[in-house]
Homo-oligomer: A and B are copies of this chain.
Amino acid sequence: MSSAPSADQTFAQRLADAAARVEARLQHHLEASGPTYAGSVGPAPRRLSAAMQHAVLGGGKRFRPLLVIESAALFGLDVAHALDTAASLECLHCYSLVHDDLPAMDNDALRRGRPTVHVVYDDWTAILAGDGLLTLAFDILARPATHPDPGVRADLVLALARAAGAGGMVGGQAYDLEADKLGVPALPDRDHIRRLQAMKTGALITYAVEAGAILGQAAPDARAAIKAYGDHLGFAFQIADDLLDAEGDAGTVGKAVGKDTAAGKATLVSILGIDAARGKLAETEAAAIAALAPFGARAATLKAAARFVSQRKR
């Protein structure tokens, strides 16, 4: 595996390759959750299946699934043995987007350059499609095909539930909406924003790389190292997202921009200013890469992922 500068080009190719494999696997799982779903009580309604497919298929960078795959590779697993776990995480990520986009929440009509689920269908279909995807994420993780050791499967379920629940992603979104809709807290500070971010965005990114370590039954110190990487990466991801909202173009970004500024929303960018936020982003990228030191050259793709996050345009 080569190192930078060619690693960045390699990274784009690896992301595209992983996205294609994850897309095929998601298609399999979502079609299987329709009328032919073996373990179901009955066939899912066509409208619900179609809404779940709209939410998941045909878009998205599949960045979180790539992290699962690359982290699992560090611990000796080939892509085929990480693909279901990667697909499960994407189902969970997409559920969160469907619910967050609802009129009662962030009220977004555009996502990944396409109309959101509640725009194509309606609110009740979007709520249920999200519920179905969240449930499907755990369904996939618990299947024997995901990993032969049930202890690994149970650990994956537990780690995902912690990352995604009220003490993680759902809690972070609730803090965010409290600020947006209720003006709580009145005077947000950096610590509050940092915590909100760690829960809302960071938790799932950290889970992505931890999932690879769980799948690969990594030793505790290696799992701690990859978790530290994930924490920095998640923070970098959120700063970059805030910068894109402040500076990006909706056509390129694929969703509405300028919303934070219009809403007077407190982000690290609004508190620090754009230049200082860029500095913080570079510093966080470096910390993410440093956390990978124990893995040496084998972590080249994950290092490139950190550069990708801080340079992304959408």
Contacts and interface: CB of A to CB of B under 8 A. Distances in A.
A299 to B, nearest CB: 24
Given A124-B105, A127-B102, A48 B166 contact: yes
Interface residues of A, number: 69
A181 to B, nearest CB: 7
Contacts of A138: 138, 157, 160-161
Contacts of A155: 142, 150
Interface stretch (A9-17, A169-177, A284-292, A304-312): A169-177
Contact of A135 (B42, B104, B125, B166): B166
Most buried by B among A124, A167, A177: A167
Contact of A42 (B123, B151, B171, B181): B171
Contacts of A49: 166
A196 B39 CA distance: 16
Interface of A: 33-34, 37, 39-45, 47-49, 52, 99, 102, 104-105, 122-125, 127-128, 130-132, 134-136, 138-139, 141-143, 149-151, 153-155, 157-158, 160-168, 170-175, 177-178, 181, 184, 195-196, 198-199, 202-203, 206
What 10 A-B pairs come out closest when comparing CB atoms? Answer: A40-B167, A139-B161, A104-B123, A132-B166, A142-B158, A135-B165, A44-B166, A142-B157, A150-B151, A48-B174
